[in-house]
Amino acid sequence: MSATNLRIGAPTGWRGWLLDSAPASRNQARLGRWYRAWLGLRRNGLAMTGLVIVLALVFVALFAPLFANHAAAYTQTLTDRLQPMSWAHPFGTDELGRDIYARVVFGSRTTLTIVALVSLIVVPVGLAMGLPAGYFGGWIDAVLMRLTDIFLAFPRLVLALAFAAALGPGIENAVIAISLTAWPPYARLARAETLTWRHAEFIEAAELQGASHLRILFTQIVPLSMPSVIIRLTLDMAGIILTAAGLGFLGLGAQPPSPEWGAMVSSGRQYLLDQWWVATIPGLAIFVVSLGFNLLGDGLRDLSDSRG
């Protein structure tokens, strides 16, 4: 601890070890970095709120049967249609007498599925386009980035709409349609990250040691690019959820009777003036979840900004 004299009130014990500005080992440095990030996140109340919302979404989606009755979400009870909020139906019932609370709970599965599938497609595609572009440069860069620019210049929602219209409605097609229009920013990002590291000394050292391009890309550059990709993904999640909900609202997402929040808003529209809860409650769910991702992503980006 060489800086003892310059710092006053430095923490001691395990916190001191984690926060040491001169870590002694790679693991200490890594753990310290995570701990610092955690401290930064914890100071940001909004980001913590976002984290809680996102974790809650995942939890509710995974264990949906614990929170609501599956049958209530699907069974049509026409004698019970359009009931206001009550103990039996906390959010009321819809035009087919299904419990809106149960449908919102099970709808979280649809949302999470779309989000997860889109991420699984978009990130690899973006990396596959961006990494070689930044790493090899030259004509590879020119071709890949021109292609990316072309896709970037397309209107996302409308294109997704056209795709969904041609492919036919359904959750898989919605995922494909969204992914097709969502990957270009990741290619740009991956390229920019690669360019930052391309000529770093440790990359050149690895090259001199005879590491193959593929090895350098996967063992060095991909891990280095991951933090910004993850932050971007967190921020994009909200947009993906909103686009998916928009497609659902237009009848191009998950098909009835499976619960989908956007479609629920759409079918509740005609009862808006008298049974306001049918349309507004599912919309509120969309809003809260996308707000959660936005809050979390914003906090994460702030952290990475202040460190960089």
Give the footprint of other proteins on this chain (CB under 8 A): 2-11, 16, 19-21, 36, 39, 46, 146-147, 149-151, 153-159, 161-163, 165-167, 238, 242, 245-246, 249-252, 262, 265-266, 269, 272-273, 276, 279-280, 283-284, 286-287, 290-291, 293-295, 298, 305
Residue 182 CB, shortest distance to other proteins, in Å, is: 14
d(CA 37, CA 102): 37
Per the CB < 8 A criterion, the answer to whether 292 and 50 are in contact is yes
Q: Which is nearer to other proteins, 125 or 157 (CB)?
A: 157
Residue 92 CB, shortest distance to other proteins, in Å, is: 15
Q: Which is nearer to other proteins, 111 or 194 (CB)?
A: 111
d(CA 77, CA 98): 7
Residue 87 CB, shortest distance to other proteins, in Å, is: 25
Tokens of 107: 């709808």
H or E element that contains 130: helix 100-136
Q: Which is nearer to other proteins, 106 or 293 (CB)?
A: 293
Q: Which is nearer to other proteins, 149 or 207 (CB)?
A: 149
Task: Kindly report the number of other CB atoms within 10 A of residue 259's CB atom.
Answer: 24
Residue with tokens 């593929």: 214
d(CA 113, CA 109): 6
Alpha-carbon Rg for the chain, nearest whole angstrom, is 24
Q: Which is nearer to other proteins, 157 or 211 (CB)?
A: 157
Residue 256 CB, shortest distance to other proteins, in Å, is: 15
H or E element that contains 292: helix 276-307
Rounded to 5 degrees, φ, ψ at 99 are -75, 120
Helix ranges (DSSP H) in 137-251: 138-152, 156-167, 171-182, 184-198, 201-208, 213-216, 222-249
Task: Kindly report the number of other CB atoms within 10 A of residue 75's CB atom.
Answer: 15
Residue 300 CB, shortest distance to other proteins, in Å, is: 13
Q: Which is nearer to other proteins, 14 or 218 (CB)?
A: 14
Please enumerate in sequence order all residues whose Cβ is within 8 A of that of 161, keeping only pairs 6 or more positions apart, or say none.
177, 247, 250, 252
Residue 282 CB, shortest distance to other proteins, in Å, is: 8
Q: Which is nearer to other proteins, 90 or 251 (CB)?
A: 251
Residue 143 CB, shortest distance to other proteins, in Å, is: 11
Q: Which is nearer to other proteins, 101 or 163 (CB)?
A: 163
Q: What angle do CA 199, 305, 213 make, to 5 degrees?
A: 25
Residue 127 CB, shortest distance to other proteins, in Å, is: 21
